[in-house]
Copies of this chain bind each other. A is one copy, B any other.
Amino acid sequence: MTSNLDPAIAARLKRSPDGLVPAIAQQYDTGEVLMLGWMDDEALHRTLTTGRCTYWSRSRQQYWVKGDTSGHVQHVKSVALDCDADTVLVKVDQVGAACHTGARTCFDGDVLPLGK
C-alpha cells in the first residue's frame, strides 16, 4: 500500500505482520480510553494531517474515518508513538459515543470478575 507518511516516521514504525499498529484513542481532557483501532502508514498519515482520526478496518479492509457514518467524529488533539514505535496513542475530542453500541467507550460493558 503506497503511503504519504513522512519517511522519517515510517522508517521507525514497527508494524505487525499484517502491516498495522494498534492505535489507542483517548479522550484528551477526561483521560477516558475510548477504543482501540488499527492503523497502517496511510491511516496514520491521514490522522496526522486531516485532524480526523482515521483507522484501517480489518473486517472491511478499508480506511475508516471515525464518525463519517455515525457522526461520532474524533477530532485529533495529539498523536504519540510509544517507546518501541509499535503502538500509537491518539488524544482526541470525541463527539458523542465512541462505541458502535452507543456507549461512551468500547470498554463500558464487559468488566471481568477478579480473583479465583
Which residues does A use to contact B, with CB under 8 Å? 9, 16-17, 22, 24, 26, 30-33, 35-36, 48-49, 51, 76, 78-85, 87, 89, 99-101, 103, 106-116
Contact = CB atoms under 8 A, between A and B. Distances in A.
A87 B106 CA distance: 9
Please tell me how many copies of the chain the complex holds: 2
A48 B114 contact: yes
B49 A115 contact: yes
B114 A78 contact: yes
Nearest to A106: B82
B114 A76 contact: yes
Contacts of A35: 82
A35 B103 CA distance: 24
B26 A79 contact: no
